[in-house]
Structure 1
Amino acid sequence: GAAAVGEGLARRAALLAWALAVGGSVTAQFCCSVVLASRSDSKDHQAFYISNISVLLGGVILVPHALAARPRRWGRPTRWWSLLAGVCAAPVFVTIIAGAMMGSQLVLLFQLAGLLATALFFDCRSGAIRCGHSFRLSGFAMVIGGVVLDEYGAAASASLSAAAIALLGVTFLTGVGYAVQAKCNEFLSADLGTTSRAIVVGAVVTLILTLPADAYIWFELGVPLALEWSDWPLWLMCGLQSGFYIGSLAALPARLGYMTTYLTLLLGKLASSSFADAWGLTGRTVPFDVMRALSLVVVLAGTALFSGACGTGDFAARASDRLSLPAAGCGSGGADGMDNHRIRGDVAARSEASTFAEDDVARARAELPRPATPG
């Protein structure tokens, strides 16, 4: 009755609020990283430390789940390139430097553009873009247009230097890295048994890769890690956000649907980054004006078109193609839309829908009048 409907609406509202909080946590972690980097006179080197420690904390938090998950026995990576998931996380420290210079929202938008461009490349390579491909390309063009609008507004308020433009270019590449990381994690998860194990192994690879650079910065350049005991909540946020994000992606899509979850997460990221920039939480104040509001609307509309352009059958085929492609998360927020939970869930959801359709056809055939038996 009415009580059940009200309970269902309340439950859905709570799930949407949860998804918004997950999106906002990406901006919160980003702002915490920028603040921690400001504790040192050498902010660039401090950003490198922070990025690596965030990966370490995120991996440590997921270790209990990785050990307790079933199957208990860990598999072995059957594809060496799946370990590149850890390599893709190494350059993320650049986004901390860029955020302190240009604000959080522009950085997140450039990452989104890089991620969607890579997703589009994967789909083109697999031949998955068949029906509705013009809508999908139009959606990507709208996202790029929204990024250009936002950058135009930022350039109007303060001219972008050559260094800032170079940082934005590398930020775009980190979005590409997130997409490749999610693709590698998909295969690594299948080999090891769970997603949490893939994240832990990826964190180990990242640390092995970056520890020599950390040692060089500390001992050769004489730039130690700047630590203040009063900053422990910020460090805790940097570590907990990864587990919160990954765990939420394992639960929310099954309850809200993947399209709704993805767009709500994106809305949470964009809204929170607008707030962070307006209040100067990253050290750079960017007012929320008409140009920025317009860019957000264009990005949201373009992302919706990009993610939902193709029909049911093609969507399932596209997900299946991604699973068979050899070459897509701290930086966990960058795996939006390419996360392996979503890929597996898309296949399961489409298979379930196909089963329902087959049942309907069977029932319809059973109800048809049968021809009279001769004789």
Structure 2
Amino acid sequence: MINAGNCQPDAVTYGTLVKGFCMKGNNSAAIQLLRKMEEGACKPGLVVYNTIIGSLCKDKLVDDALNLLSEMMSKGIAPNVITYTSLIHGVCKLGKWKEAKGLLNEMVSKNVFPDVCTFSVLVDTLCKEGMVGEAEGVVKMMIERDIQPNTVTYNSLMDGYCLRGEMSEARKVFKLMLSKGLMVDVFNYSTLINGYCKRKMMDEAMTLLREMSRKGLVPNTVTYSTLVDGCCKVGKLGDAQKLFSEMQDCGQLPDVQTYAVLLDGLCKNRQLSTAIQLFKEMEGKKLDADIVIYSILIEGLCIAEKFESAWELFFGLSSRGLQPNVRTYTIMINGLCIGGRTSEAEKLLTEMEERGCPPDDCTYNIII
């Protein structure tokens, strides 16, 4: 037991244990320890409450976090900027922008002033909601309060413009970061590269990749996967395969997502034999192929009009411990329809519904 014998735990011991439980995602154990502290002589302070509130918000248990805030305040413990930033982050993760704004106003009314972390959370949420103009307003407010935006703030703003396809504005934010002497890292470059790839602006994306190398920054697996996907989407399979080789030469190992985007590109461009070879390579590296990978292969077989092989692969999914999802069923149903096996397609549609996998609009459009 924690208080066995004459050795009584102090605030530091309790705080360390609470933090440990929270880091493991065991919020219930952390709260139990909080209750134990309340019963004893060593009462919980702001740090312990903040640790648990932060963990609850991270797990989107915002109502529990708000209840703990009320409890804390009823005991005369005033929240600080860390408390409010955690809560704002929590409601933002749930997409509750109005609640976030309410918490911001509340903290200011209590003379608890937001810091760069608080503002960065707000900027990120606004950008993800497509409210980039409002996010720009928050950044201006920060500067007016002598709180300098950091790379996290600017990266969120840049990503917001990328999501809207406003690449010239995104590039301006990137240049602004450089002009302010901020340390631009792989994550920042990857954000802008992703934006260019989504807009099929591969020349600009590749220029950024080479710029990274000149600056001594090593692109990571996410960077390369994004570029491979972008090349595949514009039909530059040769470039995609070169990037796939290059990343391994740089010591960046492709993950399941990297294999998925390259397999998809090969299959959609009728390079089935190369795709199968790549799949075997993936298996040789002991990477677990998920339902996304198998759906891509089934579609590739259907595109190549190898319907029987696609059918066999589809029905072998259960033996691999995989369950087809809506996309997998839709691909197979489409293949059966193209192959003139409409009765089997209709049976598969019925099976799909019976197995609790409701068809979507794409599925019904194929049958119709």
Q: Which bracket does the TM-score occupy, shorter chain normalised? A: under 0.3
Instruction: Considering fraction of residues, name the structure with more helix.
Output: 1
Q: Which has the higher contact order (CA 8 A, sep 6+)?
A: 1
Q: Please, what TM-score do these two structures have when normalized by structure 1? A: 0.21
Question: Which of 1 and 2 has greater Rg?
Answer: 2
TM-score (norm 2): 0.21
